[in-house]
Amino acid sequence: MEQVLYTALLIVALFALLGSGLWVAISLLGVGFIGITLFSSAPVGSVLATTVWGASNSWALAALPMFIWMGEILFRSRLSEDLFKGLAPWLGWLPGRLIHVNIMGCAIFAAVSGSSAATAATIGKMSLPELEKRGYDPRLAIGTLAGSSTLGFLIPPSIILIVYGVATEQSIARLFVGGVLPGLMMVILFMGFVIAWSMIHPGRIPPADPVITLSQRIYGTRRLIPILLLICGVVGAIYLGIASPTDAAAVGVVLSLVLSRLSGSLNKRTFIDGLVGATRTSCMIAFILAGASFLTVAMGFAGIPRELAAWIGSYNLSPYMLIAALTVFFIVLGCFLDGISMVVLTTSVILPMVEQAGMDLIWFGIYLVIVVEMSQITPPVGFNLFVIQGLTGRDILYVARAALPFFFLLLLAVVLLTAFPEIATYLPEQMQSRSG
């Protein structure tokens, strides 16, 4: 009962600090300070110093700014324009036609960005005006962009998987590889929905563009080929064990700079903007991780994770019931917090329950990312909704309604992942056996 009161006190303190407008990292540090002061006799200053240093001094964390910088470089290149021109000739024969460019474009950009919001902004700037000009249904165009841009969190190199891997001490390489098949599954689900919708509403899809030859298609895709090779090189090097995620990220940055230079979009201004953007984002995430690590230590002093896990365990929930309860919990939490904050805030409390239930932590990381993706398209704090609202000028509720079918598709992905965990664990197991 004591631990329940401690937990309630810390939760109230956290929401009070967050509600006051403080940065997430400062709020986490503040609640950790309260926890250690009230629940232990440990010296707060020493614990804070050692914990923050330990959370920051991680080689695995070095991959984070590298992948963010790679995404920033390509974000400022001509990639979005090349994506539309390169993909459109190949997808026009499918029911739904150029709507599929949103989905495939987001999947490709997700593999070089790692950010959901950046994926929405980059693809949306190019695709939405083109689709509107050609007469495609605006709600379907906005919905596919909102849903597909969440792939930025799952398809490697995923920023949030790096955060989860550092917080739980799991292999980032195995997490990256574990996100590949679930990412492809979600692409198939999204494209399947568009095909079904188009067959039900054939009159709301514009006629096909004139047929072009194979050589014209290949010529239109020429600028995409280096990007696809970059993606395959980075992910393939990690899967084959040739390079660690950090090494692959560094090589990816160099190759991104070369590709951006060759395309004519790299200059002094874009280089500085990309570097500053990557530095700002990396510092924000690292600061949040340090604050979350300090809060985790404070909760450990109070015995909250252990007692909470024992309390949940006393109900003898089956793994499926636990997953159902956690899914509802994360969906509600995602209405108020961004994805990274959700992961770092809940990992220390949730992990003991997950381990007690015998779940694979690589699988749970992929599950967690998909649930976090759902939070990106749920109001009132759905970041992707705000990004798309800014691009389109539409009312936020209109954007949320357009994204609703894709919320349910993400929920279906959770069900499939739970029923068939091999979707997330097969490639990591193959990778481990290969390296072993």
Asked if the structure places residue 424 within a domain, the reply is: yes
- Is residue 216 situated within a structural domain? yes
The pLDDT value given to residue 143: 92
* CA–CA separation, 263 and 426 (whole Å): 37
- Kindly state the average pLDDT of the residues 131-149: 88
Alpha helices, DSSP H, located in 357-395: 361-375, 383-392
Q: Which residues contact 149 (CB under 8 A, 6 or more apart)?
A: 106, 110, 116, 117, 119, 120, 123, 124, 376, 384, 387
Tell me how far apart the alpha carbons of residues 196 and 191 are, in angstroms, rounded to a whole number.
Answer: 9
Does any domain span residue 31?
no
For position 191, what pLDDT does the model report? 94
Residue 166 and residue 245 in contact, taking contact as beta carbons nearer than 8 Å: no
> pTM score > 0.95 for this model?
no
Per-residue pLDDT of 257-303, as tens digits, reads 888 888 777 888 888 888 888 888 778 777 877 777 787 777 767 66
Instruction: Find, among 175, 222, 205, the residue nearest to 432 by Cα.
Output: 175
Can you give the pLDDT at residue 192?
Answer: 94
Whether residue 405 is predicted with pLDDT greater than 90 in this model: the reply is: yes
pLDDT at 310: 62
Alpha-helical regions (H) of 266-338: 268-302, 304-313, 319-334
How many domains are contained in the chain? 1
- The two structure tokens encoding residue 167: 């917080």
CB-CB contact of 366 with 175 (8 Å): yes
Q: Which domain holds residue 201?
A: 40-435
- Report yes or no on 371 lying in a domain: yes
Mean pLDDT over the full length of the chain: 80
205 domain residue, yes or no:
yes
Calpha distance 81→377 (Å, rounded): 25
Distance CA 138, CA 128 (A): 8
Residue 17 domain-assigned (yes or no): no
207: left (phi over 0), alpha (psi -120 to 50) or beta: beta
| Position 14 in a domain | no
| pLDDT tens digits, one per residue of 150-191 | 888 888 878 888 888 888 888 888 998 899 899 999 999 999
pLDDT of residue 436 exceeding 60: no
CB–CB of 387/322 below 8 Å? no
- Assess if residue 8 is contained within a domain: no
pLDDT at 399 over 70: yes
